[in-house]
Amino acid sequence: MKTLERCARCGKCLTVCPSFWATRLESCSPRGRVAQLKEGFLEGAALLNCLLCGACEAVCPNEVPVFTHLLATRRRYKAFYTPLLRKLLGFIRRQRPLRPSDTAGKTLLFLGCAETILYPRAAEAFLEKIKALFPFMAVKRLCCGLPLVASGEEEAFLEIAKENLALLGQAEKVLVFCASCLFTFKKIYPLYLPQEQLPIRDGFSYLLEQGLFRLKVPASELFFQVPCHLRHLGVEPWWEELKYYPGCCGQGGLFGFRYRQEARRIAIPLKKAFLTSGARFLATSCSACFFRLHTLFPKGFVTPLLAYLEPSEEWKDIG
Ligand code: SF4
Ligand code: SF4
């Protein structure tokens, strides 16, 4: 309650909230949600049509932990996505290939489910290029647990999170290439599990900053849909040299499947921004954003960002 009392009703969070943008309802804005939480009755659409993007918390001048409260409140609705989650849980539980001793002292590359399941060839080609640069272990088919915690399935989330922490905590370095996984590890895990600082980094910023990789197409021809979970994590904005859209795509994990009309409305500016940008290629780095971009643009048109990276030496040779 004390943290909610910090809300000064200034409205800054309304300017960045995609669900407020889509509904124009105060009850579906961060400020409105804070007011409802204070009264103890946040429920229904006002609770569920939040995309859990984290934008409100990132901009709040009074550090009201709106996202944190909204995530915690989801447990009241845990049955909401049950049929879909049951399938997902079954899939996740069949995929536990690693032990902590396997990852100790290694550099881990965590590619995320979209890259490894939807784009296996691009993922393999990317790993092949990295092989020549430094030793690493690719972590595939491991879920960060975001779909579970976002659906209020806290017990199942904690089970997965503990296993992941045991694996990732042993590594020397973990480079993460999915924005939502990165957000989950860095922002959500500490909310649930006390832990040492994990050696986790945004994989793209690491490779670009170290000068190991460059873009293989001119920056002016590549349009990057910056995932909300990357934009609101405080990562150095390395994407600013590309063409990009600084807003939400409307998917928000499972939100885009449940609230299709709102998701379409949220995505309108993104679609316009890409079509008027003059860019030829469209890429993103978040499993949820891939789903939304696939509904907006022709199949096969959207590509993972890692498909546009080349080792710097190769780039120089080609140049
Ligand atoms: S939550 Fe923060 S940004 Fe939003 S109205 Fe309250 S004080 Fe302002
Ligand atoms: S997490 Fe995103 S969608 Fe939810 S209230 Fe905050 S800004 Fe709005």
> Across the chain, what does the average pLDDT equal?
87
Tokens of 227: 């995932």
DSSP 116: I
- Pocket mutation for ligand 2, best pick of 14, 66, 146 (most atoms within 8 Å of C-beta): 66
Residue 10 Cβ inside 6 Å of ligand 1? The answer reads yes
For residue 319 the two structure tokens come to 């140049």
Longest alpha-carbon distance in the chain = 63
The first and second tokens of residue 196, run together, are 């040492």
Structure tokens at 305: 């960002």
| Ligand 2 pocket check for 50: Cβ under 6 Å | yes
Ligand 2 neighbour 150 (Cβ under 6 A): no
Q: What is the pLDDT of residue 154?
A: 87
Taking the model in full, what pTM does it have?
A: 0.91
Total count of residues recorded for the chain: 319
Burial per residue of 221-238, b for 16 or more beta-carbon CB atoms within 10 angstroms, e otherwise:
ebbbbbbbbbbbbebeeb
Q: Which of 13, 31, 50 to mutate to test the pocket of ligand 2 (most atoms within 8 A of CB)?
A: 50
CA distance 130 to 20: 42
pLDDT at position 317 is 43
The more confidently predicted of residues 209 and 300 is 209
Strands 222-225, 200-202: pairing is unpaired
pLDDT band, very low/low/confident/very high, at 34 (cuts 50, 70, 90)? very high
Task: Give the integer Cα–Cα distance in Å for 152 and 156.
Answer: 9
> What six digits make up the tokens of 187?
């922002």
Q: Which residues contact 53 (CB under 8 A, 6 or more apart)?
A: 18, 67, 228, 229, 232, 248, 252
What are the tokens at 154?
């806290």
Ligand 1 atom closest to Cα of 9? Answer: 5
| Ligand 1 closest atom vs CA 12 | 3
Phi/psi at 64 (5° precision): -75, 125
Distance from residue 49's CA to the centre of ligand 1 (Å)? 18
Chain segment 41-86, per-residue pLDDT in tens: 888 888 888 999 999 999 999 999 999 999 988 877 765 566 666 6
Write the residue with the smallest CA distance to atom 7 of ligand 1.
7
The Å distance, Cα 77 to ligand 1 centre, comes to: 25
Q: Flag whether pLDDT at 316 surpasses 60.
A: no
| Confidence tier at 169 by pLDDT (50, 70, 90) | confident
pLDDT at residue 315, rounded to an integer: 45
Candidate from 14, 36, 52 with most ligand 2 atoms within 8 A of CB, to mutate: 52
Which residue puts its alpha carbon closest to atom 5 of ligand 1?
Answer: 9
Q: What angle do CA 66, 70, 75 make, to 5 degrees?
A: 155
Ligand 2 centroid–CA 53 distance in Å is 5
Task: Say whether pLDDT at 110 is over 70.
Answer: yes
Whether 245 and 223 have beta carbons less than 8 Å apart is answered as yes
The closest alpha carbon to 263, from 253, 272, 273, belongs to: 253
- Cβ–ligand 2 distance for 18 under 6 Å, the answer yes
Encoded amino acid at 120, one letter: P
> Which atom in ligand 1 lies closest to the alpha carbon of residue 59?
3
CA distance 88 to 98: 19
55 Cβ closer than 6 Å to some ligand 2 atom: yes
